[in-house]
A and B are shown apart, each in its own frame.
Chain A
Amino acid sequence: MKDRTLKYLLVLPAVLVVFLTTIWPLIESLRLSFTVGRLNKPGSLEQYIGWENYTWAFFYEPAFWNSVGVTAIYTILTVALTTLFALGLALLLVPGGRFRSGVQTLLILPFAMSPALIGVSFRFMFNPEFGLFDAMFGVVIPPLAEVSWLADPVLAFAVCVMADVWGWIPFLTLVLIGGLASVPRDTIEAAQIDGASGWRVFKDITLPQLAPVLAVVVILKSIFSLKTFDQIFMLTNGGPGTATQTLSHYIYFNGMKYGQIGYAASVAWLMVIPMIFLTYLYARYVFRKD
């Protein structure tokens, strides 16, 4: 068979899978968002109500805006903190040598924990009676010893952020180590000889050259933070109340627990919009030619 035909045949199964498993559901989801969409009301999945679901979310549903706010603050905090800590850790580990490589390998371990598992672990660690981290915090900051972390909206949120940052530091650190290692040593040595002190070398020479990798890291982590579900579900299940209810959780709750698939689909599609933007940014880095 000629290459001309073969090459399309080769990609066909993959394209089919992607289409059936992602494209179609996306379209169907969009369709559902325009329907009444009650799981327990047969026929409602074909009852079209136009933009009602969207306007409801936008204008009448404080819970929606709550989850938007939660997600936004969550994303900003986790991206900033994780990037900062990962950069610091990467700078510490990049010189190499046996000790540091050993630590790098150990970093794989937290990486292999799924977000759900991390959620469970942190729920365990912050239990007010026997949680390890609860005890540790209580020792370092005595006022915190009497606190019930997961019962307080702000503290529960903090724990969620902590768990997220903890889980993603290893991955971001490894990426940044790779990025730092790819900065040509010449440019750093030239700056040292030119007279720059350690901090200046970092600010003027290393950081600008690290910028593309940093950008990738920030975009990727933002996407992951926006999507976050597993961890929140296992840690706080959106609570207390709706203090930690991210958008994904909100969608899940409305769609599966309340059976409002139509409404949930509309919120889900609202969520897709920032995703498209971030994906576009990311794609530019994946497809760049250098």
Chain B
Amino acid sequence: MSANAKPFYNLLQIALILFATFVMLVPIFWIFLAAFKNHIDVFQLKLLFKPTIDNFFTVFEQPYNLGDKLINSSIVAFVTVLLAIPIATMAAYSFSRFRLVGETAMLVTILATQFVPAVVIILPFFVMFRDIGLLDTRIGLILVNLAIVMPFAIWMIKGFIDGIPIDTEEAAMVDGSSRVQVIRNIVLPMAAPGLLTAGIFCFIIAWNEFLFALILTNRDAVTLPIGLALFKAEEGDLWNLLSAAGIIIMLPMFVLALLIRKYFVQGMTMGAVR
């Protein structure tokens, strides 16, 4: 390649990037369009059509009741995060600042739980929930979601706390603070952005969680992703309604993902990639 070929290569690169971007965004764009189509237009490949926002209202009515599912998803995700973050933070602080017996073993176990296929642990959960009456409850879902988000939460928060210089804590302890006071007054405020980020990350995971909700819920505690499966009619899937529901599920996730995009890679790879 000579220097004279440079403009050609630049153009080629840009063309490839544009093509890739197109491929990556077209499905989203298409769903977006479909959500505004009425139930006739959606079965056709139209780019130009008369848009309607009816779908967004229909999904909240009977028999779809997306509103209930929206509430379920919100509560489950929110409470999961509310429980997970404090528990994870305590553990993360300890792992970060102290040497514990069996520390590596514990950390490896926590790491490994991320890789356990959900299907393996869902079966006992189903049996247990059936026996103690936790099936089809939000509490049950919260419990299993805790299982999923905990490793991520611990790892992300530990990463943040590792990044906070230990000097301030040591100075405070020399000045007379107890360890607990140090955690409360110094570490927590400094780690707050990290906690928030981890919280958002876990919220996204819980919000999108599928398998557990599929198996463990039936009617009352059904969450949004499962709600998608309900849009079947005799003629086929009601794609316009499905798309509208899809948008409702996706939109909050877009916003949240954009907020924490800097930490996504770190979070998902658990620090294997710096």
Quick check: do A and B touch in the complex, using CB within 8 A?
yes
Cα A11 to Cα B89 with chains together (Å): 9
- Which stretch in A15-23, A48-56, A73-81, A183-191 binds the other chain? A15-23
Any chain A CB within 8 A of the CB of B93? yes
- Chain B proximity mask over A27-66: 1 for CB below 8 Å, otherwise 0: 0110010000001000001000000000000000000000
Given contacts A13-B91, A110-B25, A132-B30, A255 and B273 within 8 Å (CB-CB): no
Any chain B CB within 8 A of the CB of A142? no
Q: Are B124 and A117 in contact (CB under 8 A)?
A: no
Given contacts A14-B150, A226-B117, A7 and B98 within 8 Å (CB-CB): yes
Majority-rule SS of A interface residues: helix
Chain B residue at minimal CB-CB distance from A15: B106
B180 to chain A minimum Cβ distance, whole angstroms, is 7
Chain A residue at minimal CB-CB distance from B100: A7
Which of B31, B124, B144, B211 is the one whose CB lies under 8 Å from A124? B31
Given contacts A105-B258, A109-B25, A268-B120, A17 and B31 within 8 Å (CB-CB): no
Cα A201 to Cα B207 with chains together (Å): 44
- Which stretch in B40-48, B53-61, B188-196 binds the other chain? B40-48
Any chain A CB within 8 A of the CB of B95? yes
Chain A interfacial residues counted at CB < 8 A: 97
Any chain A CB within 8 A of the CB of B154? yes
Q: Are A21 and B144 in contact (CB under 8 A)?
A: yes
Any chain A CB within 8 A of the CB of B94? yes
Cα A178 to Cα B107 with chains together (Å): 25
Any chain B CB within 8 A of the CB of A157? no
A275 to chain B minimum Cβ distance, whole angstroms, is 6
Q: Are B90 and A11 in contact (CB under 8 A)?
A: yes
Given contacts A125-B30, A171-B264, A29 and B120 within 8 Å (CB-CB): yes
Given contacts A29-B120, A230-B211, A252-B119, A283 and B261 within 8 Å (CB-CB): no
- Chain B proximity mask over A74-99: 1 for CB below 8 Å, otherwise 0: 00000000000000110011000001
Q: Are B147 and A17 in contact (CB under 8 A)?
A: yes
Given contacts A7-B94, A26-B121, A125-B30, A112 and B21 within 8 Å (CB-CB): no
Cα A201 to Cα B262 with chains together (Å): 29
A133 to chain B minimum Cβ distance, whole angstroms, is 8
Number of A-B contacts (CB under 8 A): 276
Any chain B CB within 8 A of the CB of A151? no
Where the two chains meet, the residues of A that have a C-beta atom closer than 8 Å to any C-beta of B are 1, 3, 6-8, 10-11, 13-15, 17-18, 21-26, 28-29, 32, 39, 45, 88-89, 92-93, 99-100, 103, 105-118, 120-125, 129-130, 132, 135, 166, 169-171, 174-175, 178-179, 182, 197-198, 213, 216, 220, 223, 226-227, 229-230, 233-234, 247-248, 251-252, 255-256, 261, 264-265, 268-269, 271-272, 275-276, 278-279, 282-283, 285-287
Where the two chains meet, the residues of B that have a C-beta atom closer than 8 Å to any C-beta of A are 1, 13-14, 16-17, 20-21, 23-28, 30-31, 34, 42-45, 87-88, 90-91, 93-95, 97-98, 100, 104, 106-113, 115-128, 143-144, 146-147, 150-151, 154, 178-180, 204, 207-208, 210-211, 214-215, 225, 228-229, 237, 239, 242-243, 246, 249-250, 253-254, 256-258, 261, 264-265, 268-274
A-B contact sample (13 more), CB < 8 A, given A1-B180, A18-B151, A124-B30: A17-B150, A22-B121, A25-B147, A28-B128, A32-B124, A32-B127, A88-B16, A93-B17, A111-B257, A115-B208, A120-B228, A129-B43, A252-B211
